[in-house]
Structure 1
Amino acid sequence: MTVNEALDHAERIITERGVGALTVAEIARAMGMRPPSLYKYFSSLHGVYDELFARGNKRLVSHVDDATQSYQPGLDRLLESTRAIMRWSILNPGLASLLFWRPIPGFQPRAETHAIAETMVQRSRADLSVAAQKGSLAPNADSDEVFRLFTAISAGLCSQQLANEPQATYETGLFTSLTDEALDMFVQRYAPSPS
């Protein structure tokens, strides 16, 4: 038995039945072992969640990096990163719920685990700043308030999609198919003023 095997079973459980269905007993049952044996590898169920949080964020960063490798910092990379995050979330609803929502009362990822997620946030925030500096967006777009609004747009679409039509694809979903239109509305709202 390896940690990765246990995490594979845990990921399958949260994908099929939701994050709240995960228990040490369920993982052990899937592996054909007794629950106490898992405590050699994880200090608690929250330890499993922490490892899943790290696993999900590493995969997400890799997915976004692949999708944006030909983009320079700025507006286009910000928009494509957002599309990539949403695509990944639709393909990985179990991990996405753990990464982007708070489905487990009391679960807080360790600081070093959370740092993986912060790198993505910081990069997107920097892209927004570069977009404003380059004139792709108005100067007032370079603010934490505008960044929160921007993330709320994509998070809202993704949340609605997963809550109402979880089996649809990113392209065909009733909500995710509106992504480009929503992003365009954001860009138009913060378009630079004509000189």
Structure 2
Amino acid sequence: MQPPTLTRDQRRERTRRVIVDAAWQLSRERGLTGWGLRDLGAQVGMRAPSLYVYFASKSALYDEMYAQGYRELRAAYQSLLTAELPEEDRVRAGARIFFEFAVADSARLQLLFLRVIPAFVPSAPSYALASEVLAELSKALRAVGIVDPTAVDIWTAMLTGLATQQVSNDPGGSRWGEALDRTVDILLAGLAPGQQG
């Protein structure tokens, strides 16, 4: 029995996925800005101008990578969202999921959480994915009494800072990962109303 023939749209989507996967591979090897469309074309077996059939620009390709990264982060959180856990345990587990997700792929960390490509701005649909993740975090923090938007900013800055320190200064190690639980304790004690000294 022969496999079903793919439709034109299915072939196009499959090719787009191959291109995005190759862009991630090059980004991991050379950095997010260390490759060009010629490099990417060679990686996927096509000439650089042919890439424009699938992505209007390199920025559009970065946008798809950004969206993919946030879909992956949302998927990483999925089991936590439905788990029966005390709210503080959910927040702690969420911090661990974020940290491990961030340090697992330095190119993805840079694209999602740092501005290393000055000209790149995510599209509204891609940024909406990031906003959904932040909304879930805000909801989890509200459940433990952290309601101030500035406190949410502090939370994200501290956890992103730990992840970037880990990737930058101890890649493959555990130094900043070991500080995560203590950092979460400090944040929970200091950011929830009535718990400051």
TM-score by length of 1: 0.86
- Report the identity percentage: 27
Deviation per CA, 1:90-142: give whole Å up to 9, x if none: 1122112100010101100100111011111011111111211xxxxxxxx32
How far did 1:67 drift? Answer: 4.4
Q: 1:115 to 1:192 in 2, by over 3 A?
A: closer
How has the CA–CA distance of structure 1 residues 41 and 191 changed in structure 2, closer, same or farther, with 3 Å as cutoff? closer
Supply the distance in 2 between the matched residues of 1:67 and 1:166 (Cα, whole angstroms). 26
Deviation at 1:72, TM superposition (A): 5.1
Aligned to 1:182: 183
The answer on 1:166 being equivalent to 2:179 is no
Distance 1:105 1:158 in 2: 21
Matched, 1:50 2:63: yes
Deviation at 1:65, TM superposition (A): 1.3
1:137 is aligned to none
Distance in 2 between residues matched to 1:73 and 1:10, nearest whole Å: 40
Contact 1:74–1:129 (Cα < 8 Å) also in 2: no
Contact 2:103 2:164 in 1 (8 A): no
Q: Which runs of 5+ in 1 are unaligned?
A: 133-140
Pairing 1:22-171 to 2, within 5 Å after superposition: 22-71=35-84, 74-132=87-145, 141-168=146-173
What is the number of residues matched between the two proteins?
A: 182
Q: Once the 2 structures are TM-superposed, how far is the Cα of residue 176 of structure 1 from its aligned partner? A: 1.8
> Which residue of structure 2 aligns with residue 135 of structure 1?
none
- Structure 2 spans left out of the alignment, 5+ residues: 1-13
RMSD: 1.9
Deviations 1:9-31 (A, max 9, x none): 00111122211113211110111
Residues 145, 191 of structure 1: alpha-carbon distance in 2 compared, 3 angstrom cutoff: closer
TM-score (norm 2): 0.85
